[in-house]
Structure 1
Amino acid sequence: MSFQSPSVFLSPDFIIRAAAQSWELDGIKALRRQVFVEEQGIFQTHDRDAIDAIAMPLAAISTIASEADQVVGTVRIHEETPRLWRGSRLAVAKSHRRMGQLGAELIRLAVCTAHGRGCDRFLAQVQMQNVTLFKRLHWAPLREIEVHGVPHMEMEANLTAYPAILDPFMGWKSLPPRRRRAA
């Protein structure tokens, strides 16, 4: 008799919403540390900065049996000056990067939320490997820059592609993309 260890189960269902509960905020801190400190080595011990005090954290939360389980993606947004908003610290857990489109869903929630709060212009400093994704999501490159020693592209969202969301805490459920049936 042969025994195989079971594969790790990754739920294909997610909730995309603004984070408010303490476990969600703790999950966001842990994920950002995992991605920006441990994985990418951009920061020494943590990536927190003054923007965290004013930013709205958004989260992609995996679910099990339709119940929130763990934070597997995040981004933060803030109003830099009146009507000019920025997104930053977009991160998706390594285990979930190929599941659905969590990064795209977080970007959509970020821009739609800012748009719903009076945003006229939404900018982000995007790591170069993610520029293609942002272009597909109706963002325009503005200029190449360096942030924390890493090449980035300053990009601007086309707000007409992002309808306003007034309550980001309601969020939405994100399901896996449908698979094509063989013909």
Structure 2
Amino acid sequence: MNSSHQPDYSEYTIKWASLDWEKDEAYALRKRVFCDEQSLFEGDDLDQKDQTAQLLVALGGYGGWHERVVGTVRIHEESPGLWYGSRLAVDPSYRAHGNIGSTLIKLAVSSAHALGCQSFLATVQAQNEELFRRLHWHTLAQKMVYGRAHVSMEADLTFYPPCHTPFSGFVLRAKQRHEATELAPQLTGMLMANPLAGVRQRTVLQGV
């Protein structure tokens, strides 16, 4: 799709990827962000974790008709009860939406919580540490990854009730577009004053 003009969708569905086209577009988006835009990898960003990880996608669409992947993240269980999130990416044209990234994080942690997660970790670019703290994460350690400063962080599961319907997930209603703030490219627009505001559930979530 021509990146010079992207449609303003009426809603965005954040869910576990289930269809081949959703997965293909998620991998393509990761390549654009992590290889082409950030130059963190050459060729592609695929690794062994992708063989077992669960992909999540943010789908732009109209009235429940999904048209395009505009965001993605993946989760995997490292050991019983210990889960990780990684490869969070939002299409540059949709970073100003505000809640796509934060809702991907919400479903990532909440769906893992429903599967017995006792600890959910992620490695975050250092400039986004405060942003994740506002999403109820706390810092564990500092580290260098691919020559860039990162921090290991853990989500407070108290703020992420178990989601037992991840293939339905959450639906965001579209907002008026605005200029993106200066955060790391793949995370820009994740957070607003209330990071999870504007989220409605397509189905009633157990445990909420």
TM over 0.5: yes
| 1:9–1:85 Cα change, 3 Å | same
CA-to-partner distance for each residue in 1:93-150, whole Å, 9 max, x for gaps? 0110011311100000000011000010000001123222211110001111112222
Identity %: 46
Matches within 5 A, 1:131-142: 131-142=129-140
In the alignment of these two chains, the number of paired residues is 173
Residue 98 of structure 1 aligns to a residue whose secondary structure is helix
- Work out which of the residue numbers 157, 160, 179 in structure 2 matches 1:159: 157
Structure 1 position 9, deviation (Å): 2.7
- 2:107 and 2:166 in contact (8 A); partners too: yes
Change (3 A) 1:12 1:149: farther
Corresponding residue for 1:49?
47
Give the direction of change, closer, same or farther, for the CA distance of 1:166–1:142 in structure 2 (3 Å limit): same
> What SS does the corresponding residue of 2:45 show, helix, strand or coil?
coil
Q: Which amino acid aligns with 1:117?
A: L
Residues 30-78 of structure 1 show CA distances to partners (whole Å, capped at 9, x for unaligned) of 0000000000000011000000001000010100343101101000000
Match among 60, 82, 86 for residue 62 of structure 1: 60
Taking the aligned partners of 2:165 and 2:81, their CA distance within structure 1 comes to 18
Question: Greater Rg, structure 1 or structure 2?
Answer: 1
What stretches of structure 2 of length at least 5 have no aligned partner?
A: 178-208
What's 1:88 paired with?
A: 86
User: What CA deviation, in whole Å up to 9, does each residue of 1:141-168 have, x standing for no partner?
Assistant: 1111112222111000000000001121
Counterpart secondary structure, 1:32: helix
Distance in 2, matches of 1:9 and 1:54, equals 33
Mapped contact 1:12–1:99 kept (Cα < 8 A): no
- Note the aligned Cα RMSD (angstroms): 1.6
What is the CA distance between 1:87 and its match in structure 2?
A: 0.2
